[in-house]
Structure 1
Amino acid sequence: MTQSKRETERKYEPPSDGVAGLPDLTGAGPVASVTGGGPEELDAVYHDTEDLRLAASSVTLRRRTGGRDAGWHLKLPSAGDTREEVSAPLSDEVPESLRELALSRTRGAPLRPVVRIRSTRTVRQLRDAEGGVLAELSLDEVRAEATAGGGGRAAWAELEVELTDGVHAGLLDVVEKKLRKKGIVRADSPSKLARALRETGRSVERSRPDRVVAGSPGAYVLGYLDEQVGKLVSLDPAVRRDAPDAVHQMRVTCRRLRSCLRSYRSVLDRRATDPLRDELRWLAGELGVARDQEVLSERIGAALGELPGELVLGPVAARLRVWDVARGGEVRSRTREALATARYLRLLDALDALVRQPPLRAKAAGKPARVMAKAVLKEYGRLAGRMEEALAQPAGRSRETGLHEARKAAKKLRYAAEVARPALGKPVARLGKRAKAVQKLLGEHQDAVVAQDTLRELAVAAHGAGESAFTWGVLHGRERAGADARQREVPEVWRAASDPALRAPLDH
């Protein structure tokens, strides 16, 4: 069984005279007092692959004894000074639950001990006026020993300030200001492991393509792809743990990658990228089942909650819960199964290889104002064609289908503009913003269309069970009215997005 918590901390070079040189932090913001405790002896063995794949992604996995939180700890990077720490009870082998959460980084390579780090820790607790602990100030005397690659040794001291759960991160700035006045500066290593590897002779480097010209279309496209591949990998543990919105974010990342590979075929050879697009479509499809279920459940539940009591007839809420539990468990299992396949790991490897050794075409070294603008305008042309076809259709399923296709084209234009924005600036950003408005409106329309089909299925099931289908009919009618209202808004929103003045700065 695992547990998770957010860990927000900063590391510093300690004063030369150790504990005696630490400043009195009483009065630093809400800190009303500082209390101390006895020393702790900590012994941690860090595990990684032979080529240090975890360390290369700023992830650490350790088995630690001593102190108050003995056990296995997997630390995953998050924003700023925060990391997510997932812990599991002590055992001789790496817990399978943590091995699974690290899979998007390790790709199944064996995990083994790489560094042993022992620390003698002196702790000071920063407390508020009520005596609650705001943060801990720890001074560690560290001894590191490589367990592989020659067995190098290193020793150093470091100072760490870690916030208690729920304390605002701004306290770190207040504390740091006082530490700086004493000449205490930030450490140059983000973690003990990173410093231990460096000082025992192990290097952690990520290869970069050396054939990309800075400021070229190739550089901008690869920079975007690298960012999205990193995001895909980092979202994997959150999806496996059913974190809120994780499936949605991973699915969107797949779409961004697919769109980039499609829109910038003039930069990257499609003979190499088209197979990747097919695999990304597969993964997005597996994730989409879970995401569609999540959206529908939330949408119908919210609509039901807004109905006056006199319009709710029969066990409507109970039926919705049964439907959600039955479908939800099935689709979540499908998502986890997809992430456990060799096909998924091969996709991650292939995406890494694409960024490291990109199949660049001649235009990758061209002028961004020409190459990237042309790609964006080509996606605009596709969207214009889809919108023209959709709006020419009579009201009904054919128009709904056409608007759904236009929505997908609007997404592609928006993502193509995202890639080009660092190169082309405000003109492409404005066009992307208009594309997003079209996408949002057509997305609301599509959600209403899909909800109608689901509500009809629930009504049929309720009727077959001898229950009243009245409430499902009311909800169906509201969704139909909502879809019709969104359709009426489409021409105006599209006129704003298709204004020639938006495209003029890009049309060279």
Structure 2
Amino acid sequence: MGASHHDETERKYDIDAATVFPNLAEAEGVDAVGQPVEHRLEAVYFDTSGLDLARRGVTLRRRTGGADEGWHLKLPAHGDTRTELHEPLGDEREVPESLGTRVRSVTRGRTLEPVATVRTNRREYPLHDPAGSVLALATDDSVQAQRLGDDREELVWREWEVELVDGSTELLDAVERRLLDAGATTAAVRSKLARVLGEPAAVTSPLESTDADDLTVRQLLSAQLGQHLERLLDQDAGVRAGRREAVHRVRIAARRLRSALTTFRPLLDTTVTDPVREELRWLGEEFAQARDAQVLREHLHEVLAAEPAELVVGSVQTRLDEELGAAYASGREAAERALDSDRYVRLLDCLEELVASPPLVADDDRVAADVMPGLLARDVKRLRRAVEAVEAAVDGADRDVAFHEARKKAKRLRYAAESAVPVLRKRARSLASDTKKVQETLGIHQDTVVARERLRELGMQAHLAGENAFTFGRLHALEQARADRAEADFAALWRKFAKKQVRRWER
């Protein structure tokens, strides 16, 4: 069985040793404060020798004492909320496999070992509503901590913490006001471990530290690859934490990385970068089924909800939920398997190497502002040729394929233009904005292609099962009408785009 998990929403506060804990029954939304409970907590934190988990805002510990003693893995925060996974105590030095797997994309085979010990004397106050339910737990912690493996002195401090149970963020705000009035300050570090190990040094991007007019091609490409790799790793954690939107965002990050390597391809050693591009394509494909099923199900639910009741007949809703729900579940399993694979770990290692040292074949220190116009013009030309193929296509299936190819070229151009904004500023921003409109319209068309194919399959299944397939046919017709509108919208957008952007970049 996998680790149990829950979302943990909490805030921490720094205080002096002599500060008196306030009466939180006076906080708005709190009816009463229960009797305090004393806990003696002892935790050993694990990380790699290079503190890879800490650098990514992940904590892994084995803690004894308290109601939830055991192994705890806390994944990166979103605001005040982190996802915490829990396993029973087990072996004191052997990290549970279910937790080790969750951080494999960070550790990548490096050994997890004890890096710090934290001992806490905790006084815990339950905050109740009028019905007696626990809204939050407020704690007063006296802490002793030691970093392992060096001769640093033991750290001693006191802190307050408030964790939501059944309360709201408004309750957190109200309690926080009382704590601040009592003399607390918002915690300077995000966790006890960060206080012991120190906050990871901020990595400064060349985009922040170098004047745009002086940025080299190497610096710009490295910064773009690094930015998208960070997003990939952030969304990797989101997928592992069960966040639905993270599936789509992993695909976007992978697509942007591949697009950057494609746009800069004329300047790169392709024997190094082309295999990485193909691996990024593989990663995107592994996530495609889950995302396509998710988007289609949500869209068709909206369409069905807008239909008159008398036009929704048969088992259409049930079939959509069962078939697309199963497709999403199967696709998500495939995505998670991909993230747990050795192939994905090797891809991350390759990407880190590209960020550190982009394999440019020559002139790697040319000013990016001088080079990017030519690269963008190349992608503009690719899009123009793809649109010409759309205009030449007559057969419906061939036309759908041509539209899809044009969409991919538009997406690549948009990403390329966005990557050039730091050095080309307004020109690149204008190109990115106009291309995004073209891409989104072509995206709607492709969505209808996928929807029509799936609706035809579901309609045939319903018919063969002796069910009324009328509504599936109607939905198919509505999607065809949506495709026709998208084609008309695209034609109008393209006329404007060709006049404004194609002429500008290809002259």
TM-score normalised by structure 2 residue count: 0.86
Contact 1:114–1:146 (8 Å) recurs in 2: yes
1:65-464 to structure 2, matched below 5 A, reads 65-92=64-91, 93-123=94-124, 136-147=137-148, 149-150=149-150, 153-164=153-164, 169=169, 184-198=184-198, 214-215=210-211, 216=215, 217-240=217-240, 242-265=242-265, 268-360=268-360, 362-394=362-394, 396-464=396-464
Contact 2:458–2:472 (8 Å) recurs in 1: yes
Shift of residue 344 of structure 1?
A: 1.1
Contact 1:43–1:119 (8 Å) recurs in 2: yes
Shift of residue 507 of structure 1?
A: 8.6
1:13-24 to structure 2, matched below 5 A, reads 13-18=14-19, 20=20
Shift of residue 97 of structure 1?
A: 2.3
Q: Deviations over 1:119-140 (max 9, x none)?
A: 1123456677888766555332
Question: 281-290 vs 462-471, which deviates more?
Answer: 462-471
- Matched to 1:283, the amino acid is L
- Matched to 1:214, the amino acid is T
Q: Distance in 2 between matches of 1:435 and 1:482?
A: 21
Contact 1:63–1:72 (8 Å) recurs in 2: yes
Q: Distance in 2 between matches of 1:456 and 1:487?
A: 21
Q: Distance in 2 between matches of 1:279 and 1:394?
A: 34
Q: Deviations over 1:231-281 (max 9, x none)?
A: 212222432454312211111111011001111236654332222111101
Contact 1:32–1:129 (8 Å) recurs in 2: yes
CA change 1:213–1:185 in 2 (3 A) is closer
Where 1:365 maps in the other structure, the secondary structure is: coil
> Aligned pair count?
499
- Matched to 1:157, the amino acid is W
CA change 1:503–1:155 in 2 (3 A) is farther
Q: Deviations over 1:346-398 (max 9, x none)?
A: 01111122222333455543333322333233322221221232123336222
Contact 2:164–2:172 (8 Å) recurs in 1: no
Q: Distance in 1 between matches of 2:168 and 2:314?
A: 47
Contact 2:120–2:141 (8 Å) recurs in 1: yes
Where 2:154 maps in the other structure, the secondary structure is: strand
Where 2:75 maps in the other structure, the secondary structure is: strand
Where 1:67 maps in the other structure, the secondary structure is: coil
- Matched to 2:464, the amino acid is G
Q: Distance in 2 between matches of 1:358 and 1:293?
A: 36
Q: Structure 2, unaligned stretches of length 5 or more?
A: none
Where 1:498 maps in the other structure, the secondary structure is: helix
Question: 58-67 vs 94-103, which deviates more?
Answer: 94-103
- Matched to 1:100, the amino acid is T
Shift of residue 409 of structure 1?
A: 1.0
Shift of residue 76 of structure 1?
A: 1.2
Shift of residue 286 of structure 1?
A: 1.2
Shift of residue 175 of structure 1?
A: 6.5
CA change 1:47–1:315 in 2 (3 A) is same
Q: Structure 1, unaligned stretches of length 5 or more?
A: none
Q: Distance in 2 between matches of 1:358 and 1:162?
A: 45
Q: Distance in 1 between matches of 2:241 and 2:81?
A: 19
Shift of residue 60 of structure 1?
A: 0.3
**Other-structure match for 2:50:** 51
Where 2:143 maps in the other structure, the secondary structure is: strand
Q: Deviations over 1:76-134 (max 9, x none)?
A: 11334432222233333433322221111112333232222111123456677888766
CA change 1:268–1:40 in 2 (3 A) is farther
- Matched to 2:59, the amino acid is T
CA change 1:372–1:182 in 2 (3 A) is farther
Contact 1:207–1:356 (8 Å) recurs in 2: no
Q: Distance in 2 between matches of 1:38 and 1:57?
A: 33
Where 1:402 maps in the other structure, the secondary structure is: helix
Shift of residue 205 of structure 1?
A: 6.2
CA change 1:31–1:218 in 2 (3 A) is farther
Could you say what the CA RMSD is over the residues aligned between the two structures, in angstroms?
Answer: 3.4
Shift of residue 16 of structure 1?
A: 4.3
Identical aligned residues as a percent: 41
Q: Deviations over 1:433-486 (max 9, x none)?
A: 221111111111111112111222222223333333332222222211211121
TM-score normalised by structure 1 residue count: 0.85
